[in-house]
Amino acid sequence: MSIAAHLPRAHDLVRFGPHNDSHAVAARAGISVAAPLLTLTATGHAGWAVYAAFGAFVSLYGRMHGHRHRLHTQLAASAVLVAAVTLGAAIATIPATGTLRAGVLVLGCAAMATVASVVGDLTRWHPVGPLFAVFAVATCAETHGSGRDILTACAVAAASAMFATAIGQAGRLSRRRRTRPRALAQVGGLTVLREPTVVRHALRYGGAIVVAGALATSVGIGHPGWAMVAAVVPLSVPDTPTRLLRAAHRVVGTLLGVVVAAALLHLRLDGWELIALIVALQVVTELFVGRNYGFAMLFITPMALLMSTVAGPVDVGPLLRDRAVQTVIGAAVGIGIALLSSEHRASVLAARAEPPAPAPAKTQGTSAT
């Protein structure tokens, strides 16, 4: 079966899924992000906002399940994301000169992706995969910190994650939402660790990050973490057609999102205005990310880039260039790994084993041409 048979069509790129109660998820995410960022800004600690933001991303887990499973999932996600933020802050203490920091960053992201993949398979969490854990390590590693900032990063991320988890349980106070039917959760036990797919997923994510990180570092521009994040995106969905579609959404959405980000970055917002815009982008992202990932990237991209300016002004041109180039590199690596995967090989073998469809019988008086 040729790759062309799996390539997404134009209508696949612009198709939207159902709303699926996404406004509730958007509200939880908006509150979870807004409260810690506004608190840090008001108290003069805007430089810690990046740590708080990744703790707040706990609100995105267990989005459509009942409160009990959401609690279990968010506690697991809290542990992983706080560890990822702490690891990133530790890497940030390594001098940026030379290749040591870049090498440690790639290996750190790969290790965290492996751990997050196993935890994700164990808890059956959603969003699937280690994307946010890798994103947290890579982003926090680019901060300008010292040894004492490691404990600060851990504490701020943990506090933010605890708040997001509490917000995720707020629906218990509403009788209507408490009794509303939810998707059944398939929570794995420790026996899931013996499944070959768990090891395969973890190794696949780790390998993709090592390759993407090495390539991204070798091109000589900044933010290699964005390539590593983009590499895991196609691998978080189950089969070749959806992986290629997810990669296309990531690339096309990012390139268009860079244009949106350029306009917003040139506004040079700071303080309350910047935080308000980031929160608004987070809310809109959650309204659409489950319906059309590519369209959501129009908001995810500027949000990620604006987060880079919370601690202070940045050089906009290289920032936009790095986001575009590194995303393309990472997506290409992710597609390559996906096409080498056992799932893709199995689908090719299954397609070859299918007998050809019988030719339609000719009817008298009908031309075969």
The structural domains of the chain, with segments of one domain joined by +, span 21-174+187-352
Rg of the chain, C-alpha, whole Å? 22
Euclidean distance between CA atoms 247 and 258, whole angstroms: 16
Angle at alpha carbon of residue 291, lines to 286 and 294, rounded to 5°? 85
Euclidean distance between CA atoms 345 and 1, whole angstroms: 10
Residues 75, 79, 84, 90, Cα dihedral to 10°? 140
Closest CA to 308 of 346, 350, 278, 272: 278
Euclidean distance between CA atoms 358 and 249, whole angstroms: 36
Q: Give strand pairing partners of 183.
A: 65
- Confidence (pTM): 0.88
Give, for all 369 residues of the chain, the pLDDT tens digit.
456 667 788 888 899 998 888 888 999 999 999 999 999 999 999 999 999 999 999 999 987 777 888 999 999 999 999 999 999 999 999 998 878 999 999 999 999 999 999 999 999 999 999 999 999 999 999 988 788 899 999 999 999 999 999 999 987 765 555 455 454 445 555 555 567 889 999 999 999 999 999 999 999 999 999 999 999 999 999 888 899 999 999 999 999 999 999 999 999 998 899 999 999 999 999 999 999 999 999 999 999 999 988 877 889 999 999 999 999 999 999 999 999 886 666 665 555 555 555 555 443 433 333
